Amino acid sequence: QVQLQQWGAGLLKPSETLSLTCAVHGGSLSGYYWTWIRQPPGKGLEWIGEVSHSGYTHYNASLKSRVSISVDTSRNQFSLKVTSVTAADTAVYYCARAEWELSHWGQGTQVTVSS
C-alpha cells in the first residue's frame, strides 16, 4: 500500500525559500508523476507542479518563475522549493501521486509566511 509522508519547515519569513520533501513508501517512483498541490486558508486546491521519476517537470504558469520540483530516486523522495515567499504563499501544501487523477496524498504540511 502506497503511503506518502511529507515534511518541511512550517514557518518562514518573507523572501525566504520554502522547502518540502515527500517520501514514497510501499511503491516505486517509476510510472507516475509526483505532484505538489497547495490550499490557502479557507480556499480551494491549486496545482503547483509535478515531476516524473526521470526528472521531467511541469509547472503552473502562475508560479513557474519561483518553483522547482526535483526527484531523488535513490531515496524514493521528491521535493518542492518555492523562492521569495510572501504571505500569499501561506497554505497547506500536499504531495500526491499522479496519473490522470491524484490517487494517493500526503498528510499535508502547514506553511505560514509571516514577518
Task: Please identify which residue in 44, 65, 74, 115 interacts with another protein, judged by CB under 8 A.
Answer: 44
* Residue 10 contacts residue 102 (beta carbons within 8 Å): no
Name the segment binding another protein (CB under 8 A); options: 8-16, 21-29, 79-87, 106-114.
106-114
Find residue 97's DSSP bridge partners: 34, 104
**Binding marks (x or -) toward another protein, 67..96, rule CB under 8 A?**
---------------------------x--
Residue 18 cell numbers, joined = 520554502
* Residue 82 contacts residue 70 (beta carbons within 8 Å): no
Residue 101 cell numbers, joined = 487523477
Task: Please identify which residue in 8, 16, 23, 58 interacts with another protein, judged by CB under 8 A.
Answer: 58
Distance CA 114, CA 102 (A): 30
Residue 112 within binding range of another protein, rule CB under 8 A = no
Residues of the shown chain interacting with another protein in the complex, contacts defined by CB under 8 A: 35, 44-47, 50, 58, 60-61, 94, 98, 100-103, 105-108
